[in-house]
Amino acid sequence: MVLVGLGSNQGESTDIVVAAIHALESFAMPNSLRCSELFRTSPVNCPPDSGDFVNAAVTFEAIDGLQPEALLRELKRIERDFGRAEKYERNAPRELDLDLLLFDQQTRQSEEFTLPHPRAVDRLFVLKPAAQLIPDAIWPGLDKSIARLLDELETDEEVYALEERPPFCVAVA
């Protein structure tokens, strides 16, 4: 099970996030992609005057043979396809941000990336959509479910549902 966080606060953010969700379908086993509602979220650790974000999360079963490193490269390519510069300031406004949050229970610690995502559990804009999808999933290294991490999170972030799941997304029962 793969968990990817999506965000945008430049351009037509809702349309960008929905289009990016479509782009992620190519890495998912057939009929396995699930997506959260879209959320309007306050910027976290961003430059002054940064606009609100549209955030969501998707989960899916990875296609056979897909490894986290290859998926991360593809996520970065999709970001560039949507106009994100290859070199960018962390937390600056952006057309699209795709974060590989979880890839099964795998862990990585390299110059390229850290898995699970090292700051995800401290962010309401990540945990709230993730909890809609896989609340009982255990976060590697913390031995806590996503629902528990969400319940224990103390934050002043503002996160509220923008609209229902995009119509093509399969809702989680």
Work out the angle between the directed axes of helices 68-81 and 13-24 (0-180°, nearest 10): 140
Q: Assess contact for 82 and 96: CB atoms under 8 A.
A: yes
- Only one residue has tokens 């793969």, namely 2
pLDDT reported for residue 76:
94
pLDDT at residue 91 in the model: 58
Confidence category of residue 157, pLDDT binned at 50, 70, 90: confident
- Whole-angstrom CA distances from 125 to 112, 148, 149 are 23, 15, 13
Task: For residues 96 and 82, give the distance between their C-alpha atoms in angstroms, rounded to a whole number.
Answer: 6
In order, the DSSP letters of 28-70 are: BPTT--EE--EEEE--SSPPTTPPPEEEEEEEEPBPTT--HHH
Residue pair 62/28 in contact (Cβ under 8 Å)? The answer is yes
Active centre residues (catalytic) = 84, 94, 97, 99
**pLDDT at position 168:** 65
Confidence of residue 167 (pLDDT cuts 50, 70, 90): low
Distance of CA 66 to the CA centre of its chain: 18
Q: What is the CA radius of gyration of the chain?
A: 15
Task: For residue range 101-128, list pLDDT tens digits in order.
Answer: 999 999 999 887 899 998 899 999 999 9
Q: What pLDDT was estimated at residue 173?
A: 43
Total-model pTM: 0.91
pLDDT digits (tens, 9 = 90+) for 4-52: 999 998 889 999 999 999 999 999 999 999 999 999 987 777 766 777 8
- CA 114, 156, 43 angle in degrees (round to 5)? 60
Summarised one tens digit per residue, pLDDT across range 50-108 is 778 899 999 999 999 999 999 999 999 999 999 877 665 565 667 899 999 999 999 99
Domain positions in the chain are 2-118+158-163
**Separation between Cα atoms, residue 100 and residue 50, nearest integer Å:** 23
Please report the pLDDT score of residue 92 as a whole number: 61
The pLDDT assigned to 11 comes to: 84
CATH superfamily of this structure's domain 2-118+158-163: 7,8-Dihydro-6-hydroxymethylpterin-pyrophosphokinase HPPK (3.30.70.560)
Distance CA 60, CA 70 (A): 16
